[in-house]
Amino acid sequence: MLMTDVSSRLSPAILPNSLSVSRLVSVKYAPQRLPVFVFRSARASYDSVETNPSVDSVIEKEEKNILACPICYNSLKSLISHPHGSVGSPASGSTQLQCSTCKKIFSANETHLDLAVASGTKHYTEPLPLSIELFRNPLVSFLYERGWRQNFIWGGFPGPEKEFEMAKEYLKHVLGGNIIDASCGSGMFSRLFGKSEHFAMVFALDYSENMLRQCYEFLKQEANLIDKKIVVLARADAARLPFLSGSVDAVHAGAALHCWPSPSSAVAEISRVLRPGGIFVATTFIYDGLFRFIPFLEDLRQEVMRYSGSHMFLSERELEDLCKSCGLVGFTCVRNGLFIMLSATKPSQISSASCEEL
Ligand SMILES: C[S@@+](CC[C@H](N)C(=O)[O-])C[C@H]1O[C@@H](n2cnc3c(N)ncnc32)[C@H](O)[C@@H]1O
């Protein structure tokens, strides 16, 4: 069995017909990039993602693939079988990825790569919190973008297009880089990020297989997105991100933080994978203001969290605390009713000032 770099060997067989695997060949990152360099490369890539030779030649020196084993956090290699070997080859339509350290093999189906820790298990199962199981249901996944998400408007969510514009404002310093759409659901933001061409690569991640299927279906309908091949779909746990540390320019998490069983584990992971200067932007529902002083509502919130596994309605102060405790700085937010969009940044360098800020 031959092992080769993902960056040079991922075949369209991983995500057949549409899903952009070939773009993985040129995923680039610069963990220690200085801010001035980030600006230059992002700007140039934003204007012309792949054709600016000055940008490419600088970045190529730092080129690495950024997908990692969710167990070891070391890089993944693609497995190519011997001509008569038993492991699927690109020709047989089933390229697999293998961790260079623990040797675990990760496979892809028709719609997405499975980069969850328990991927490939035959007998092991574990009960997952309601907030995860709900979205694994095929009917919920089907209905999500066909009415469910639209109801968030009653909680003060401005709607996907407006939320996208707001997120873009927070992300303006990392345009041209790569972005994870964490807990992408049916992919409404992954599609907007992809269509905008503001990012060189969009990693659409979710834990729900059925959400990823919906995401794939919607992507297929956006013909130009398929041609441009900038969205990669993968199943992954937000609390165990399959990326190398310091390899990602931006993480977006729309209406997801309250669904994560452990927001602190997920935000810590986001902080780990962000490069210095990388940006986290998220929306969620908050519980704040006068509500906090109504004892019955506070009790209800605790009970809902206990039984659903959901972290619906954290307060702004709790969210800021959460980001800080995970090593993110410069917390800022916009609020409207129960809606909050927050952003925080991975510090560019550890100075005494930023240590104090933490
Ligand atoms: C309310 S939907 C949000 C979808 C989309 N981002 C949006 O803005 O509408 C929440 C998503 O979080 C996903 N999710 C829940 N727990 C997760 C976890 N631990 N890791 C990854 N995704 C998770 C669910 O599968 C679901 O698709």
Pocket test for ligand 1, best of 179, 207, 339 (most atoms within 8 A of CB): 207
Distance from residue 266's CA to the centre of ligand 1 (Å)? 12
* Confidence at 298, pLDDT banded by 50, 70, 90: confident
Quote the pLDDT of residue 61: 34
Positive or negative torsion for Cα 117, 119, 121, 124: positive
Q: Is the CB of 241 under 6 A from ligand 1?
A: no
Q: Is the CB of 14 under 6 A from ligand 1?
A: no
- Predicted confidence (pLDDT) per residue in 159-174, tens digit: 999 999 999 999 999 9
DSSP string, 300-319: HHHHHHHHH---TTB-HHHH
Contacts of 44 (CB under 8 A, 6+ apart): 52, 54, 55, 176
Which SS3 state, helix, strand or coil, does residue 250 take?
strand
At 161, which helix (H) or strand (E)? helix 160-170
Which residue has its alpha carbon closest to ligand 1 atom 13?
183
- Predicted confidence (pLDDT) per residue in 110-149, tens digit: 899 999 999 999 999 988 888 899 999 999 999 999 999 9
Q: Is the CB of 237 under 6 A from ligand 1?
A: yes
The reported pTM is 0.80
- Decide which of 127 and 269 is more confident: 269
- For the CA of 152, the closest atom of ligand 1 is 9
Distance from residue 256's CA to the centre of ligand 1 (Å)? 5
Q: Is the CB of 281 under 6 A from ligand 1?
A: no
CATH class held by domain 130-357? alpha beta
Q: Is the CB of 185 under 6 A from ligand 1?
A: yes
Q: How far is CA 175 from CA 48, 163, 319, in A?
A: 11, 16, 25
Residues 41-70 as b or e (16 or more Cβ within 10 Å = b): bbebbbeebeebeebbebbeeeeebbbbbb
- Predicted confidence (pLDDT) per residue in 13-29, tens digit: 234 333 333 444 334 44
> What tokens appear for 114 in the block?
């499975």
Q: How far is CA 21 from CA 149, 223, 341, in A?
A: 29, 16, 31
- For the CA of 184, the closest atom of ligand 1 is 6
Quote the pLDDT of residue 85: 37
Tell me the domain boundaries of the chain.
130-357
Distance from residue 135's CA to the centre of ligand 1 (Å)? 7
- Nearest CA among 207, 212, 235 for reference residue 128: 207
Q: Round the average pLDDT of the chain to a whole number and report it.
A: 79
One-letter amino acid identity for 80? I
Average pLDDT over residues 61-87: 71
First to last CA, the chain: 48
